[in-house]
Amino acid sequence: MILLSSKCTTVLLLLFSMLFFHSCSSTNQLTDETHESMSEPLTLAKGNYAPYQPAGEEPLYQLVITSQEAYDEFRLKFEEGGFGESLPEVDFDRHMVVGVWMGESNSSGFDTEIVGFDTTDSEFNIWVRNKYPDPSCAYLTVITTPFHIVALPKTELPITFMSNRVMDSCD
């Protein structure tokens, strides 16, 4: 049996927390080539712990940002609450920013992801997959706030979020 000092245990817990809760952000810049070839969302940030969640209806929240001013305000709040990560610049003449949040969850089995988009003559559909824990699987008991923020081609069509609820596989 290995005994660890309380200082060592604290360091290990801190390292685990940093690895688990670290939210990934992309340093991708949106160029004309990116816009023309965009067939799936370009991830700007995704993680299990949202450094900032806009006020909204629980448990799911969706946000669409179509102006530089609104994005600057959102970025400031997001980056102040985070781990030093920054969101990339976005050209709002060609793109919009869309985010989804699942709210607070009590285990590591939750996730949300914007998986795609399509357009019809009358609307712009954003496809979201919300993953929930399988009761037969073991998960970490930890507070999470899953989120996903992406860039999509800008549209003037009404936006509809299409959600899909799936059960996590015990992988």
pLDDT digits (tens, 9 = 90+) for 146-161: 999 999 999 999 999 9
Average pLDDT, the chain: 79
Residue with the bigger pLDDT between 112 and 26: it is 112
pLDDT of residue 95: 97
Q: What is the reported pTM?
A: 0.76
Instruction: For residue 142, name the pLDDT band (cuts at 50, 70, 90).
Output: very high
Q: Per-residue confidence at 59, pLDDT binned at 50, 70, 90? A: low
Q: How confident is the model at residue 65 (pLDDT cuts 50, 70, 90)?
A: very high
Asked if residues 61 and 80 have their Cβ atoms less than 8 Å apart, the reply is no
**CA torsion angle for 64, 131, 48, 39 (degrees, to 10)?**
-50
* Amino acid making up residue 161: F
What are the residue boundaries of the structural domains of the chain, listed by start? 29-167
pLDDT in the model for residue 58: 59
User: Whole-angstrom Cα distance, residue 59 to residue 86?
Assistant: 25
CA separation, residue 33 to residues 48, 60, 111, 124, 168 (Å): 30, 33, 30, 21, 35
Q: What is the Cβ-side half-sphere exposure of residue 115, based on CA atoms within 13 angstroms?
A: 12
Instruction: Please say whether the beta carbons of 82 and 51 come within 8 A.
Output: yes
* Pairwise CA distance, residues 93 & 171, whole Å: 41
pLDDT for position 132: 93
